Amino acid sequence: MSSNVLNGARFTLAANEITQLPFDSGAEVAFAGRSNAGKSSALNALTGHNALARTSKTPGRTQLMVVFDLPPLKRDGDEPLVARLVDLPGYGYAKVPESMREHWRREIDAYLKMRRSLRGIVLIVDIRHELKDFDRTMIDFCAATQLPCHVLMTKADKLSRGQASSALEGLRKQFRENKVPGTVQMFSSLTKTGVEEARARVLELLHTPRAHEL
């Protein structure tokens, strides 16, 4: 098994506002998704940590922007790259006051539009369900701004191989038709389906500058 660079992820800080995030340089990939789609479990599986991101049976535990620093990423001939993973607040949970939901809508919107070091989004969706409004909003934003998006269709172990393959191809077709700059894969944090593929994609996103960086 190849060494896992993401295993070096370490908790840095939790921010309530984008102004509290680390200095906007280097490269980062943000994880977004509904609060019950398995985002924390996916982060833990990708980094190889059991409890890097908090998991809970109560949806919505991630109510801050949580930053994890990675060791400097090295490629032959390049300067080491300062890199981070950012866990965005889970959306869709009902027990949070509307004022807090509105706060996070504003902060996530500002983060996506203003964060210069953001090189891609990993969007977590439950493979068993249709895309929700916020999922579609995120995908539309990525298409409009040419922000690379990689979708993890989680909980693939809950479906038959045929059902999972059909769901995967359906979303890939939507991406092609809507010219979304993104990729889609099946994923299961329980059976580790797709973990190596997802790790490789996260590293590829971190190493790929966006147009404004060139």
Cβ neighbours around 201 below 10 Å, total: 20
The dihedrals phi and psi of 47, each to the nearest 5 degrees, come to: -90, -15
Average per-residue pLDDT in the chain?
89
pLDDT, greater one: 206 or 95: 206
Residue 65 burial (CB < 10 Å; 0-12/13-18/19+)?
Answer: buried
Contacts of 84 (CB under 8 A, 6+ apart): 12, 22, 26, 27, 28, 29, 67, 68, 69, 70, 117
Q: Which fold has domain 5-213?
A: Rossmann fold (3.40.50)
pLDDT tens digits along 143-173: 899 999 999 999 999 999 999 999 999 999 9
SS3 180: coil
- Rounded distance, CA 30 to CA 87, Å? 6
pLDDT tens digits along 37-80: 899 899 999 999 988 876 544 444 457 899 999 999 988 777 89
Tell me what percent of the chain is helix, strand and coil, each rounded to the nearest 5: 40, 25, 40
The structural domains of the chain, with segments of one domain joined by +, span 5-213
Whether the pLDDT of residue 4 is over 50: the answer is yes
| Least confident segment among 94-103, 111-120, 142-151, 167-176 | 94-103
